[in-house]
Structures are given as structure tokens and as C-alpha cells.
């Protein structure tokens, strides 16, 4: 399964990739009430996969997946550099338990990604500014800044912003999306165009090269 095929099992979504069988299938949601050992009633939400008939359980108030204990974050882009993917995967593993820690790892993965794009000196803000003066599209620069600012604020100034579980989980999944978006625009699309160019007839390539040399 590739990142483009994967649909994260978001809260109350009807169709997504089941965290048990991984099939893209319809899920039916049910409300249930559960009483714990302290005789506290919890409002839970269950979704049942139409494919494997297995189920997952969410805390309706916090919308956290209780069962199974898996990440709902998007898979890494297939063209993501290995050192970036290493941190991305680690962030996926802990995103459900600690969205802020996952955001911090994604910020470090962003530093590695900018280094892959030939900006390895200075602070991340300066690297992004340097990249903005090059060939990168505006939406990529905006994505870089969104990820940089959000991760910084979560980790360094968490007392100043809303840290409800709902906002954390939703926001960190958007940060995963942004990392994949940056990889798509800066690595995958240029690579696809490069491949198309070098598949042109050899005489046409030579003519273009001679044209550009003059």
C-alpha cells in the first residue's frame, strides 16, 4: 500500500483503511456506554469494518483510538529520503500517545528534508527563507513554515495554546500530510519530469542542449 492509497481511520469517517485488515472498507459507527472499576460511565464509540468484521474503540470525548493501539497518521511518501522517513515513522508510532512529541520529531525530519534540498546550514527559518529564493513553489514554502511554526509552538510554548486531545490529534495528522506534500512537490514531481525529459529521442535532447548552450 502506498501513501496515496491510504485513508487514515479518522473519527466518524465512513470509509477508510481498517487498522486490523488494512482493507479500504466501509465502517459502521455505534455509540456505547461503559462503566469502569470506579463506576464512572464512559461514552465510547465503536466502528466495525465491513471487510473483516473487526472493530476499533474510540473515546468519544477525546476521539482517541483505544483499540487497536495503532497510528492513524498517513503513511510516509514512497519517495521520502530514508533519513527523513526514519523520523517520520518514529513520529507515527507515538502520535497517538503524544502528538506534541510526534510534532517535535516531524520538525527534526523537516531539518533533514531541507538538508536533502541543499540547505543544511543555519537555523530552519533561515533555510526556508533561502529555499524561498530558489525554485520551490509558494505552497511548499507555506507548508514548510506551517510545520516549523506549529511544531515549535507545541513543544516550546504549549502553555499558550489550546492543547485539547482533539486539536492535537487532528493537527498532528495534518503535519504528517504536510511532510508528504513537501516530498511530493520537491522530489516526486521533479523526478517524474526529469524521467520524461530523458525519455525524449536522443536527437531531440541534443538539439535542446545545443539551443540552451547558445
In tens, the pLDDT along 189-207 reads 999 999 999 999 999 988 9
Q: Does residue 213 belong to any structural domain of this protein?
A: no
Q: Does residue 24 belong to any structural domain of this protein?
A: yes
* 126 and 39 co-located in one domain: no
pLDDT 10s digits, 110-164:
889 999 988 888 888 889 998 888 888 899 999 988 888 887 766 554 444 444 4
Region 179-195 average pLDDT: 92
* 117 and 155 co-located in one domain: yes
Cβ–Cβ < 8 Å for 69, 96: yes
The bridge status of strand 64-67 relative to strand 55-59 is antiparallel
Alpha-carbon span 105 to 91, nearest angstrom: 6
Q: Does residue 9 belong to any structural domain of this protein?
A: no
Q: Is the overall model pTM greater than 0.85, yes or no? A: no
Alpha-carbon span 187 to 113, nearest angstrom: 10
* 171 and 92 co-located in one domain: yes
pLDDT 10s digits, 57-102:
776 655 566 666 666 788 899 999 999 999 999 998 888 777 888 8
Q: Does residue 212 belong to any structural domain of this protein?
A: no
- What contacts 98, CB < 8 A, 6 or more positions away? none
Extract the C-alpha cell encoding 29. 459507527
Q: Does residue 176 belong to any structural domain of this protein?
A: yes
Is the Cα dihedral 166, 170, 176, 179 positive or negative? negative
User: Which domain covers residue 41, as residue numbers?
Assistant: 15-67
* 63 and 102 co-located in one domain: no
Alpha-carbon span 143 to 117, nearest angstrom: 15
Query: How many domains does the chain divide into?
Result: 2
Alpha-carbon span 55 to 50, nearest angstrom: 10
Amino acid at each position: 500500500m502506498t501513501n496515496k492509497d491510504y485513508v487514515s481511520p479518522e473519527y466518524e469517517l465512513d470509509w477508510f483503511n481498517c487498522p486490523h485488515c488494512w482493507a479500504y472498507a466501509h465502517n459502521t459507527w455505534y455509540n456505547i456506554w461503559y462503566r469502569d472499576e470506579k463506576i464512572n460511565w464512559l461514552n465510547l464509540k465503536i466502528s466495525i469494518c465491513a471487510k473483516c468484521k473487526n472493530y476499533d474503540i474510540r473515546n468519544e470525548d477525546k476521539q482517541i483510538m483505544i483499540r487497536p493501539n495503532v497510528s492513524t497518521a498517513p503513511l510516509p511518501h514512497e519517495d521520502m529520503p530514508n533519513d527523513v522517513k526514519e523520523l517520520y515513522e518514529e513520529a507515527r508510532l507515538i502520535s497517538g500517545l503524544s502528538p506534541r512529541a510526534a510534532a517535535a520529531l516531524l520538525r527534526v525530519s523537516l531539518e533533514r528534508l531541507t538538508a536533502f534540498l541543499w540547505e543544511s546550514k543555519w537555523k530552519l527559518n533561515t533555510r526556508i527563507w533561502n529555499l524561498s529564493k530558489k525554485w520551490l513553489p509558494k505552497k511548499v514554502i507555506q507548508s514548510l513554515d506551517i510545520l516549523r511554526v506549529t511544531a515549535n509552538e507545541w513543544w516550546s510554548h504549549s502553555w499558550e495554546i489550546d492543547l485539547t486531545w482533539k486539536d492535537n490529534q487532528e493537527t498532528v495528522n495534518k503535519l504528517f500530510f504536510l511532510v508528504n506534500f513537501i516530498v511530493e512537490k520537491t522530489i516526486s514531481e521533479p523526478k517524474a519530469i526529469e524521467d520524461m525529459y530523458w525519455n525524449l529521442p536522443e536527437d531531440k535532447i541534443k538539439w535542446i542542449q545545443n539551443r540552451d548552450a547558445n
